[in-house]
Amino acid sequence: MSKIHIFNTLSVGFVGISFIAFGQIPHEHNLSAVICLGVLECFTSFSSGGFYKCGTLHARQFSSIVISAIQFTKCIALFSGPALVAFFVTDESNQTQWSHVFMTLAGFTFFANILSYIYFTDQPAEWTEEKNPVKYSKNGDIIKI
């Protein structure tokens, strides 16, 4: 369980820290901004050991559905990102306006990371347990257990 929390903190919590750092880099320091963005993307790669692993372990045989729901949520985030920029940024050269976008994203990631400590588990969900398992014989007949 602790591995899931560690990986999720790296993939979500540290991304929030990277968003804060990225929002504070002056526009004259292009190389620093690129490095910070690279670090942010590297932290994102830990998600396979965090929430994806949690979804797989918790949903067991229904993990493909849970992973699909995670992917759908990521698609919604891709559409909400431009709306966030439209809300905060009126002058694209104004760094202060962009820092509000990155601070908001950091807040969302910190909130999601806190929720993960409350809700994430590696135990199978109750709805994954088979109450009346059915076995099949070699010729396809149902065998009651």
- pTM passes above 0.75: yes
Which DSSP symbol is given to 27?
Answer: T
User: From start to end of the chain, where are the E strands?
Assistant: 134-136, 142-144
Does 143 reside within a domain?
no
Taking 80 as the threshold, does the pLDDT of residue 104 lie above it?
Answer: yes
Domain containing 5: what range?
A: 1-122
Q: How far apart are CA 89 and CA 93, in angstroms?
A: 9
Q: Let me know if residue 41 belongs to a domain.
A: yes
Number of structural domains in the chain: 1
The helices-and-strands tally (H runs, E runs) of the chain is 6, 2
Identify whether 131 is part of a domain: no
CB 59 within 8 A of CB 125: yes
17: pLDDT strictly greater than 90: yes
Average pLDDT, the chain: 90
The per-residue pLDDT for 134 is: 65
- Taking residues 6-35, report their average pLDDT: 94
